[in-house]
Amino acid sequence: VATDGDDSEIPDCQLNVYNFKTLRDSPAARYGALRFDSNNTCNLHCVYCHNHRSDQTIDADEFRSFLESRIRGVTQFQVGCIMEPTLDPRLADLMLMIGNSPARPTECLILQTNGLLIHRHDHAKLQAAGLTRLSVSLDTADPQMQKSLRSGMSLDKVLRNITEFMRSCPGIEVEFISVVTAINIDQIEMLIDLGLDRGVRRFVLRELLYYPNNDVVDHVRMPGLLLRAGQFAEMIARVQARFGDKIELYFASNDQLDASAREMFENSRFIDRNSIPARFGAKELT
């Protein structure tokens, strides 16, 4: 267990191929939220995703040593933040490492995923790691719209994986995390109904965020997907009126997402600003 560093807390920080070496070579720290990616690639190309990709990964032994020597404590540990964690065949073992280390979070261990490949990972191991929440990205109950936003993905396949996951891990909460755009905003209630039918009780609705200087995102489609001023707030009022007393609802406007992305960027101490895993384009950062 780490003995150096001090007891102050870094509130929100990423840990991935862009800063692993920096944090490994720094004094131990205590984290509020630590958001980890062991790999840097994905099986989808969602229309709104701003993140660069590569075939880099974090070495398992180095990760274990980091957890043992550089962590003084974590409140929330999230696996899957900038890319797709289920593409890493080591996922369940890495999560077990977290669960058996000083980084075992005191509040929640979250796996955030596009949901297409959860079936490839040993659910019993995920449970043994102390996973508390599976956070699945879904934007709409309409399979064609879901395909068009999230690069041809099969909604049906994700729903089958969720059902199977809930059957084998009944104690682990499942949430839907959704990007609200101009094309799905009028159908958010249908997405929530779909989740409710399947036993999902927690929903996170995030307004579409767009950085026009980013060199990954689809600039042809993005402007047409942005919400107009006030539209997100209207949706919040509507959804809260209908579901507010029945389920857990969380909302993040793009101003809030932008502020937290910037804070996370500073805390994470990335060395290469041109290949940042944060969602902004280089110009916004200077």
Ligand X SMILES: C[S@@+](CC[C@H](N)C(=O)[O-])C[C@H]1O[C@@H](n2cnc3c(N)ncnc32)[C@H](O)[C@@H]1O
Q: Which one among 16, 39, 40, 113 touches ligand X, defined by CB under 6 A?
A: 113
Least distance from ligand SF4 to the Cβ atom of residue 177, Å: 10
Q: From the list ligand X, ligand SF4, none, which binds 45 (C-beta under 5 to 8 Å, kind-based)?
A: ligand SF4
**Binding residues for ligand SF4 restricted to 46-75, rule: CB under 6 A:** 46, 49, 51
E strand intervals along 37-85: 71-79
Q: Which one among 33, 83, 92, 141 touches ligand SF4, defined by CB under 6 A?
A: 83
Q: CA torsion sign, 15 to 20 to 22 to 26?
A: positive
Is there a contact between 156 and 202 (Cβ–Cβ < 8 Å)? Answer: no
Q: Which one among 200, 205, 206, 276 touches ligand X, defined by CB under 6 A?
A: 206
Examine residue 177 and tell whether it contacts ligand X (CB under 6 A).
yes
Radius of gyration of the chain (CA): 18
Nearest CB to ligand X, comparing residues 81 and 155: 81
Q: CA torsion sign, 134 to 260 to 270 to 149?
A: positive
Contact residues for 93 (Cβ-Cβ < 8 A; gap 6+): 60, 125
Q: How many residues bind ligand X (CB under 6 A)?
A: 19
- Sketch the per residue contact string, 158 through 197, with ligand SF4: x for CB under 6 A, - otherwise: ----------------------------------------
Q: CA torsion sign, 254 to 260 to 262 to 264?
A: negative
Least distance from ligand X to the Cβ atom of residue 135, Å: 7
In terms of Cα–Cα distance, which of 22, 176, 9 is closest to 107?
A: 9
Cα distances from 159 to residues 51, 119, 143, 155, 197, in angstroms, run 25, 11, 11, 6, 11
Window of 4-12, 25-33, 41-49, 210-218 that interacts with ligand SF4 by CB under 6 A: 41-49
Nearest CB to ligand SF4, comparing residues 101 and 178: 178
Instruction: Give the integer Cα–Cα distance in Å for 243 and 24.
Output: 44
Amino acid at position 247, single letter: I
Instruction: Give the integer Cα–Cα distance in Å for 156 and 141.
Output: 10
Least distance from ligand SF4 to the Cβ atom of residue 180, Å: 14
Contact residues for 37 (Cβ-Cβ < 8 A; gap 6+): 14, 15, 16, 17, 79, 80, 81, 82, 83, 85, 277
Q: From the list ligand X, ligand SF4, none, which binds 77 (C-beta under 5 to 8 Å, kind-based)?
A: none
Window of 39-47, 93-101, 141-149, 212-220 that interacts with ligand SF4 by CB under 6 A: 39-47
Q: From the list ligand X, ligand SF4, none, which binds 95 (C-beta under 5 to 8 Å, kind-based)?
A: none
For residue 151, the tally of other CB atoms under 10 A from its CB is 16
What's phi and psi for 94, nearest 5 deg?
-65, -35
Amino acid at position 70, single letter: R
Q: From the list ligand SF4, ligand X, none, which binds 206 (C-beta under 5 to 8 Å, kind-based)?
A: ligand X
Q: From the list ligand X, ligand SF4, none, which binds 14 (C-beta under 5 to 8 Å, kind-based)?
A: none
**Binding residues for ligand X restricted to 50-89, rule: CB under 6 A:** 50-51, 80-84
In the complex, the residues that contact ligand SF4 under the rule CB under 6 A are 42, 44-46, 49, 51, 83-84, 114, 150
In the complex, the residues that contact ligand X under the rule CB under 6 A are 42, 48-51, 80-84, 112-114, 137, 177, 179, 206, 208-209
